Amino acid sequence: MFLAVFAVLLAGYSVALTLGGVALLFALGGMATGVFDGRDLGFLPGRLFGIITNQTLIAVPLFVFMGVVLEKTRIAELLLESLSGLLGSLRGGLGLAVVVVGMLMAASTGIVGATVVTMGLMSLPTMLKQGYDPKLATGTICATGTLGQIIPPSIALVLLGDVLSNAYQQAQLSQGIFAPKTVSVGDLFAGAMVPGLILVGLYVIYTLVIAAIQPQRAPRADPTATPRPALTTLLKGLLPPLLLIVAVLGSILGGYATPTEAAGVGAGGALLLALAYGALSPAVLSEVCRSTLTTTAMVFFILIGASVFSLVFRGYGGDELIHGWFVDMPGGVWGALAIVMLVIFLLGFMLDFIEITFVVVPIVGPVLLAMGVDPVWLGVLIALNLQTSFLTPPFGFALFYLRGVTPPSVPTGDIYRGVIPFVALQLLLLFIIALWPDLATWLPSRLYP
């Protein structure tokens, strides 16, 4: 089934139709040959109804709406201009501004493609004009653009949290625990906070080190070209997005709102910001709603196709086969975890995080969780792993997103070479989180004892 799916995807068919169509063809073939019980398809309506009525997934269109509003208005652009003027006098100051704005954009949009493209259009021409090395400029933009995978409120974490919650319950039921513990999207948000901030810190340190030892790659800005902004201008650019992020994350981490309710706060807050900036015209609102509808429909269509795929996969006994492989694997839990991380990393070259979350995690998640792996730790490792695969040449999605908005004067080789140090930093963080799980599990245990 997996080989057939990859073959059909490479032929150019859409992911959702491929997942559902291949699964149904295998089910029909199995029914014709007597190796698949057609009654298993009777569970499909209940599964699809469960998807549509899932309260957690309501957060998806709301967070998408919040991100698209901030993307389509000049809020992010004004933020970059303010920070560039403030930090431009430092060596590498513009690079630091890009990292900070990328972090805030990640926390407000949560969509990798949108963040990379937006940051590329806003900051790359300025960095090149200021004399930045194209490799450093493109690498910084690509890396900060993918922070939306790990920094809450991330769409990837919302979807991953919902899938891991179901997988955790399945793992406990398989062990005879009929009053299972739960793991929520809020747990995953809290677990990703410290690793996400550590990663931003690593990016900042790398930028400062490069600016110190190779100043020609990250020169100071010309003070006459980028004057220091007034305090009121700086506050106007920086304060509103920060307040929005604090309102969304603070309400979740403080236990005042569920992620779904906080997503509503974020969507409403983004609209108020756009109105305050005078950037919300009827044409912009129409474009925002259309983009939100398209993205949300894509997510749910893929989720439906993945649900059909996993149902047929389980009907053939695929989950039992994988469980047997993992149990017999040398190295026990660590060996199984290493194989899963490697597979997810390689799949990240070909599939988006949505497909991996909905197809791979429901299959391998219950097995790893039944072996004693902490669900929050596993979720953070998967999110970091996917973020790394999005950056890794030659197939990383973020590289293609940036290539689409990069001028011809910047060769593709510079983009590839520029992201390699950031890939190394992300692999370092992945290794650190693997060795010290408390970095991911400490904050959730404090907030939700």
Asked whether residue 362 is domain-assigned, the answer is: no
The percent of residues in the chain predicted with pLDDT above 70, rounded, is 94
Show Cβ contacts of residue 294 under 8 Å, excluding neighbours closer than 6 positions: none
Provide the pLDDT confidence category of residue 225 given band limits of 50, 70 and 90.
low
Judge whether residue 262 has pLDDT over 90. Answer: no
Can you tell me whether residue 294 is helix, strand or coil? helix
Establish if 86 belongs to a structural domain: yes
User: Stretch 244-248: mean pLDDT, rounded?
Assistant: 83
CA–CA separation, 100 vs 193, rounded Å?
15
| Helix, strand and coil in the chain, % to nearest 5 | 80, 0, 20
CA 283 to chain centre: 28
pTM of the model: 0.81
Please report the pLDDT score of residue 239 as a whole number: 79
Is residue 112 scored above 70 in pLDDT? no
For residue range 21-58, list pLDDT tens digits in order. 999 999 999 998 888 888 888 888 888 888 888 787 88
Q: Which distant-in-sequence residues (6+ apart) come within 8 Å of 174 by Cβ?
A: 366, 370
Within a domain: 433: yes
Q: Is residue 88 part of a domain?
A: yes
Domain-embedded: residue 122: yes
In a domain, 297, yes or no: yes
pLDDT, position 422: 92
- Residue 61 confidence (pLDDT) above 80: yes
Residue 285, domain extent? 59-303+397-447
The whole-angstrom separation of Cα 68 and Cα 63 is 9
Q: Could you give the CA distance from residue 412 to residue 400 in angstroms, rounded to a whole number?
A: 9
Kindly report, residue by residue over 2-20, the tens digit of the pLDDT. Answer: 888 878 877 878 878 888 8
149-178 mean pLDDT: 81
Count of structural domains, the chain: 1
Residue (of 385, 400, 309, 296) closest to 348 by Cα position: 385
Quick: pLDDT tens for 344-363. Answer: 888 777 677 777 888 788 88
Q: Is the pLDDT of residue 154 over 80?
A: no
In a domain, 320, yes or no: no
130 within a domain of the structure (yes/no): yes
